[in-house]
């Protein structure tokens, strides 16, 4: 069993989630149960899946949850783009959050490749 808090990718994903919550707090009230909720859920799903797979045994399960986290990162990437294109997510926030998502996806890709190599 691994301590997820020690993983750099989890730390980065957790920080991103906190930033997403702050940024989406500025979204219009009529998006509270729409884009705000979906964006936050996708963001929180990334570190949650990393944490969940650290509580399991075996690299096969770890790889599965990392792939789920990758899917959530891609979903978040789209929700951020949508918020930006709808002009409810400021350009500066979009650039920072999008860059962070891309970095997390790279980190997850590296982690997944490492697991496959160690099999």
Give residue-wise pLDDT tens across range 36-53: 999 999 999 999 999 987
What's residue 58's pLDDT?
A: 62
Residue with tokens 């940024």: 23
CATH code assigned at 8: 1.20.1440.60
> How confident is the prediction for the chain on average, in pLDDT?
91
Whole-model pTM: value is 0.91
Number of domains comprising the chain: 1
The boundaries of the domain holding residue 93 are 4-117
Q: Is the pLDDT reported for residue 17 higher than 90? A: yes
CA distances from 113 to 1, 22, 66, 83, 95 (A): 20, 32, 11, 31, 27
């Amino acid at each position: 069993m691994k301590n997820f808090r020690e993983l750099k990718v989890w730390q980065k994903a957790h920080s991103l989630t906190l930033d997403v919550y702050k940024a989406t707090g500025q979204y219009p009230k009529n998006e509270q149960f729409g884009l705000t909720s979906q964006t936050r859920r996708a963001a929180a799903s990334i570190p949650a899946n990393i944490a969940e797979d650290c509580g399991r045994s075996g690299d096969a399960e770890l790889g599965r949850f990392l792939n789920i986290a990758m899917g959530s990162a891609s979903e978040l990437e789209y929700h951020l783009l949508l918020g930006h294109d709808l002009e409810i997510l400021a350009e500066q926030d979009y650039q920072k959050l999008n860059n962070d998502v891309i970095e997390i996806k790279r980190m997850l890709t590296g982690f997944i490749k490492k697991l496959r190599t160690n099999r």
